[in-house]
Amino acid sequence: MRNVVLMGPPGSGKGTQASRLSESFGLEHVSTGEILRAAVRGHSELGLKVESILAAGELVPDDLMMVLIRETLATVSVGGAGWLLDGFPRTKPQAEGLVEVLEDLGIEAPTVVEIVVPDEEIVERLSGRLTCDKASHVTAKGDAKEGDPCPECDGALYIRADDTPETVRNRLNVFRAKTEPAKAELARNWPVVQVNGLGRPADVTQRIAGVLEAEH
């Protein structure tokens, strides 16, 4: 099995890269943001609990996230080529929890890749970007408008409630305060490989694919 943890700030292209890489390596794409948004859309018990948290760009409490990730990883670790985790861990306790869950499941160290992008570039990329309501494909704001069909599937494009400039800034602050320590915690346990996130998406995919191939 090949298991990957993809880290990087909001707007680093993490979701896009996660979709492409999981497809080309045949990995199960586990996006915690996508699982949570699907729960909100489906008005499930979890969805009702997390809707306002997501809209404010805050983090869902660690205990809820740990239940979700333990269940999900137990399922996707049976058979299959492996998984790619996108959006988790986001806090130090989640990082500690992840190390523990993998130990419990008898899974060896995953490959941890961090996509590195400067802040100014992130605010520019995220403010007003368009996301599809079916599979979270992302389209640049210059290329389409709200309500247009998704170029990649039969979904429709909308602006995520947490992609407004104020919420973007809040998400970046949350990232600095909470997710940097999560990365440090992973680095204490496993090697973390940094990859430059600037340039064309296809180039970034190539860089990360090179890292994954070198690991196996």
Binding site for ligand ADP (CB under 6 A): 10, 14, 32-33, 36, 53-54, 57-60, 65, 87-88, 90, 94, 162, 171
Can you read off the two tokens belonging to residue 188?
């204490």
Residue number, 77 or 129, with CB nearest to ligand ADP: 129
Residue number, 45 or 216, with CB nearest to ligand ADP: 45
Least distance (Å) between residue 167 CB and ligand ADP: 8
129 has catalytic annotation: yes
Annotated active-site residue in 125, 129, 178, 183:
129
160 has catalytic annotation: yes
Can you read off the two tokens belonging to residue 38?
């699907």
20 has catalytic annotation: no
Least distance (Å) between residue 162 CB and ligand ADP: 6
Residue number, 153 or 215, with CB nearest to ligand ADP: 153
Can you read off the two tokens belonging to residue 153?
């599937």
Annotated active-site residue in 20, 37, 92, 171:
171
Kindly give the pairing relationship between strand 4-7 and strand 83-86: parallel
Residue whose C-beta lies closest to ligand ADP? 33
90 has catalytic annotation: yes
Gap between the Cα atoms of 173 and 168, Å rounded: 9
Gap between the Cα atoms of 22 and 84, Å rounded: 6
Least distance (Å) between residue 216 CB and ligand ADP: 26
180 touches 92 (CB < 8 A)? no
* First-to-last C-alpha distance (Å) of the chain: 10
Least distance (Å) between residue 126 CB and ligand ADP: 7
169 has catalytic annotation: no
* Alpha helices (H) in 26-118, listed in sequence order: 32-41, 45-55, 62-76, 92-105
Can you read off the two tokens belonging to residue 167?
């919420």
90 touches 179 (CB < 8 A)? yes
Annotated active-site residue in 90, 92, 125, 178:
90
List residues with catalytic annotation: 14, 90, 129, 160, 171
